Amino acid sequence: MSKYINPYTDFGFKKLFGTEANKDLLIDFLNELVDKKHKITDLTFKNNENPGELSEDRKAIFDIYCETVSGEKIIIEMQKAKINFFKDRAVFYTTFPIREQAEKGEWNFKLKPVYCIAILDFEFDKDLKNKDYKNIVTLKNQYCEEFYDKLKYIFIEMPRFNKKENELDTHFEKWLYFLKNLIEFENVPGILKEAVFEKGFKVAEIAALNKEQHEAYEKSLLQYWDIKSAVDTAFDDGKAEGIEQGIEQGIEQGIEKGIEQGKIEVIETMISEGFDFETISRLTKLPIEEIKKLQKN
């Protein structure tokens, strides 16, 4: 197995960025993205589950939701697989931190800035002429003049970031290099021998996880592989019913074949990564004898 956790998993992402003990890592990362006038000195984690005003309203569950000491609201998402209407989802998510600022009684409607930052494990839009790994979206008028500076969407497409160690120019590129290659590292590379990254490596060590954390990580890793395999199978084949509605609707409408094949690929990957049969069986609910057959094949 890898020496370090996979940061694309729910467990890995929140272990690195979503805990009080490691919020200095998140602050350092975010300060590479927010406007200089919004530089973060401290932040607090807010409830990442946001219900609607009514019980039947659609709720939003963010990966990480935080607020800076000066009041900026920041949503951070790690999106594992491509889904349709992702832009709509991002806009919908930002309505929650906007609406929660409403005050009862007399109120002048003055809002604090809202950021939506999405780290994507897929290419956002292959048809875009711009091939930059980072897309920053703001509200502008027909003359491309800034209309409103308190709402910003930042989409980071990890597959587009392919710089090698000797090509890194900025602190932010070092962060992306760290995240993209973390599971491949055996030791801390020279260019990342800075206090913030050295702490990141220490936090990400699988050997440092306790038993409960290790089991949680294994389940999170399995979910990541399962989702990626199912999505890749469905989108690559182009045969899955409901594929044009995206992976979420596609699964609901029936891509059993894709999921079944995806599960097989997950098990094969776990075998190659060195998981023992008992662990694979416990996580996948597949009998050990069936797993052994897959190994022989």
Specify the DSSP class assigned to residue 92: H
Specify the pTM: 0.77
Q: Two tokens at 275?
A: 């998981």
pLDDT tens column, 2-54: 899 999 999 999 999 999 999 999 999 999 999 999 999 999 999 888 765 64
Check: CB of residue 76 under 8 Å from CB of residue 63: yes
Rounded-to-10 torsion of CA 15, 41, 61, 63: -30
pLDDT at 52: 59
pLDDT tens column, 158-191: 999 999 999 999 999 999 999 999 999 999 999 9
Rg (CA), the chain: 21
pLDDT tens column, 206-264: 999 999 999 999 999 988 887 777 665 555 555 444 443 444 444 444 444 544 655 67
Within 10 A of 189 (CB to CB), how many other CB atoms are there? Answer: 16
pLDDT at position 137 over 70: yes
pLDDT tens column, 86-132: 889 999 999 999 999 998 888 899 999 999 999 999 887 776 777 79
User: Bridge partners of 116?
Assistant: 75, 153
What's the CA gap between 179 and 192, in Å, rounded?
12
